[in-house]
Homo-oligomer: A and B are copies of this chain.
Amino acid sequence: MRPTGPLTRDDIVTTAMGLADRHGLAKLSMRSLARELGVEAMSLYHHVAHKEALLDGMVDHVFSEFHAPRPGHAWADEMRRRAVTARESLLRHPWAIGLMDSRTSPGEATLRHHDAVIGCLRAAGFSVELAAHAFALLDAHVYGHALQEVALPFEPGDDIAPIAEAMLASMPTDTLPHLAEMAREHIYRPGYTFGAEMTWGLELLLAGLADRLADRLADESDDLGGS
C-alpha cells in the first residue's frame, strides 16, 4: 500500500493519523496500521517502542500543525491565529483531544510550540507570571472548546434540522425547560454554528488580558516616574 523504500517512524505516525481520522481511534491497531503500510505488525516495533509511543507521536504531530506565534508581532493577532488553527487541527483529528489527558510527557514539537507562545507574550510586555496566566487561560479555552465541539452530536456540514427535531422530541420540555428553550430558539436555528462561540469567547479573553497587561504596564511606568 505504501510506495516504496524502508519504513520510517514518520511514515508510521502520519499513516496512523490518517487511519484514526478516517475510521476512528478505536479502529487503529498495530495490526491494522501494519496492513495499511503493507507490512507485518511486529515490524512497527523497530520504529516505535510501543503503541503508547505511537500515540505520543501522533499528538505531538498535531501540535506541530498549530500556528506558532511570532515574537514582535501583535500579540493578540498571533494568539487569535493560534487559537483558530488549533481548533481546525483538533477538529480535523478528533481523536487528539481525548489522547491529551493521558500523555504526561510532551513531545518536542509540543514544547517548541509552547515556547513560541510564551515568547510572543513576553515580547509583548507580559511578565512571566501574567504570561503563565494568559497561556493557561488561552489553552484551556481552545482545548475546552474543541472538547465540546468534538462531542457535539452533529458535524459542521450536517443539516441539523432532522437532528434538532429528534433532539427536541427526546428532550422533555417540562423537566428541562431552559435547555429546550435554548435549543429551540437559538442552537437549532439555521445559521447557528458552535465555532462562533469560540471566537466570541476568545475576544472576551483577549480583551480581558489586554486590560491586565495595560494595568501592569501602567504600574511599571508609575514606578519609574515616582522613583
Contact = CB atoms under 8 A, between A and B. Distances in A.
Given A94-B101, A175-B112, A204-B208, A182 B128 contact: yes
Given A112-B175, A176-B112, A137 B101 contact: no
Among A98, A179, A197, residue most surrounded by chain B Cβ atoms (within 10 Å): A179
A22 interface: no
Interface of A: 94, 97-105, 111-112, 114-115, 118-119, 122, 128-129, 131-133, 136-137, 139-145, 147-148, 150-153, 171, 175-179, 181-182, 185-187, 194, 197-198, 200-201, 204-205, 207-209, 212
Interface of A is mostly: helix
A119 B182 CA distance: 10
A141 B145 CA distance: 8
A201 B144 contact: no
Given A132-B182, A179-B118, A208-B207, A151 B100 contact: yes
Contacts of A185: 128
Among A99, A102, A139, A185, residue most surrounded by chain B Cβ atoms (within 10 Å): A102
9 contacts: A98-B99, A111-B179, A112-B176, A115-B177, A133-B197, A139-B148, A140-B141, A204-B209, A208-B208
Given A101-B150, A140-B145, 19 more contacts: A94-B101, A105-B153, A111-B179, A118-B181, A118-B182, A122-B181, A128-B186, A131-B182, A133-B197, A133-B201, A137-B204, A140-B143, A140-B148, A140-B201, A142-B144, A143-B144, A144-B144, A207-B208, A208-B208
A140 B137 contact: no
A117 to B, nearest CB: 8
Among A99, A104, A133, A143, residue most surrounded by chain B Cβ atoms (within 10 Å): A143
A29 to B, nearest CB: 15
Contacts of A205: 204-205, 208
